[in-house]
């Protein structure tokens, strides 16, 4: 089998179509083409063609993974889970994880800051945020470095209380409201303190 033509794809100029004996055989990225030193006139065995097909699939997987990672910040654990679902070989997983981390396409600290920013907006407690980050595979060191920069836990709790405590179902049932706040990850003592502040504020405003 002989390579008779190499043509750049119209839809993706970073990929080329390779023709063997005048028939389309496989597509590769330009980097793969250069790495394999493929050129017109080269003779391929069945084993050679099988290797090229494997390289082609790996290149397509990398492209899909990069597109997915760039949609929003991702943790390394999320990326590895994505690659496992795509049934990537261990060596391909390792190569993509290393490359994306080196090029900062994927960064656990960046992901942690993004996650905290979003969860703080929802008035999640430190405990809840910390638990979620650990579930996403973020190390304790990164969490400890990033989390203190967010709004204080009591500030978040005060904001949540101010927003929710006059909702009819919570205004009529203080126990239900306290349980709601506990599910957000806040401690009983902090809840009692902040609710006490809110009640005192109501009393002062009534004069």
Please tell me the total number of residues recorded for the chain in this structure.
207
Specify whether 28 is located in the same domain as 14. Answer: yes
Which pLDDT score, from 0 to 100, does residue 202 have?
A: 53
Number of domains in the chain: 4
Specify whether 100 is located in the same domain as 138. Answer: no
Specify whether 77 is located in the same domain as 91. Answer: yes
Q: Does any domain span residue 17?
A: yes
Specify whether 93 is located in the same domain as 112. Answer: no
Which pLDDT score, from 0 to 100, does residue 136 have?
A: 94
In this structure, are residues 107 and 99 in contact, taking their beta carbons and an 8 Å threshold? no
Q: Does any domain span residue 139?
A: yes
In this structure, are residues 148 and 165 in contact, taking their beta carbons and an 8 Å threshold? no
Phi-psi region of 19 (alpha: psi -120 to 50; beta: other; left: phi over 0): beta
Q: Does any domain span residue 51?
A: no
Q: Does any domain span residue 52?
A: no
Specify whether 161 is located in the same domain as 206. Answer: yes
Which pLDDT score, from 0 to 100, does residue 82 have?
A: 95
3-class SS of residue 177: helix
**What CATH number did the domain enclosing 61 receive?**
1.10.10
Residue range(s) defining the domain that contains residue 138: 107-150
Which pLDDT score, from 0 to 100, does residue 102 have?
A: 94
Q: Does any domain span residue 50?
A: no
Who's near 158: CB < 8 A, 6+ residues apart? 194, 197, 198
Specify whether 95 is located in the same domain as 111. Answer: no
Give the residues of the chain that fall short of pLDDT 70: 148-151, 153, 172, 198-207
Q: Does any domain span residue 177?
A: yes
Q: Does any domain span residue 71?
A: yes
Which pLDDT score, from 0 to 100, does residue 206 have?
A: 40
What tens digit of pLDDT does each residue of 42-72 get?
Answer: 888 888 888 888 888 888 899 899 999 999 9
CB count, 10 Å around CB of 52? 22
Specify whether 205 is located in the same domain as 160. Answer: yes
Q: Residue 173 and residue 165: Cα distance in Å, rounded? A: 10
Which pLDDT score, from 0 to 100, does residue 185 have?
A: 74
Specify whether 146 is located in the same domain as 165. Answer: no
Q: Does any domain span residue 20?
A: yes
Which pLDDT score, from 0 to 100, does residue 207 have?
A: 32
Q: Residue 205 and residue 197: Cα distance in Å, rounded? A: 12
3-class SS of residue 3: strand
């Amino acid at each position: 089998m002989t390579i008779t033509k190499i043509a750049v794809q119209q839809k993706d100029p970073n990929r080329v179509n390779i023709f063997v004996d005048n028939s389309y055989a496989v597509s590769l990225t330009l980097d793969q083409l250069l790495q394999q030193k493929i050129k017109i006139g080269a003779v391929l065995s069945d084993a050679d063609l099988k290797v090229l097909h494997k390289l082609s699939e790996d290149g397509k997987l990398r492209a899909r993974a990069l597109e997915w990672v760039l949609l929003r910040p991702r943790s390394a654990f999320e990326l590895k889970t994505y690659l496992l679902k795509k049934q990537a070989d261990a060596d391909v997983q390792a190569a993509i994880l290393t490359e994306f981390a080196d090029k900062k396409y994927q960064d656990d600290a960046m992901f942690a800051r993004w996650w905290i920013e979003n969860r703080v907006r929802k008035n999640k407690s430190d405990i809840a945020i910390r638990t979620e980050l650990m579930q996403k595979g973020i190390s304790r060191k990164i969490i400890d470095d990033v989390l203190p920069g967010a709004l204080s836990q009591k500030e978040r709790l005060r904001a949540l209380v101010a927003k929710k405590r006059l909702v009819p179902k919570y205004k009529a049932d203080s126990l239900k409201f306290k349980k709601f706040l506990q599910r957000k990850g806040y401690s009983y003592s902090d809840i009692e303190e902040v609710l006490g502040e809110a009640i005192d504020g109501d009393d002062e405003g009534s004069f």
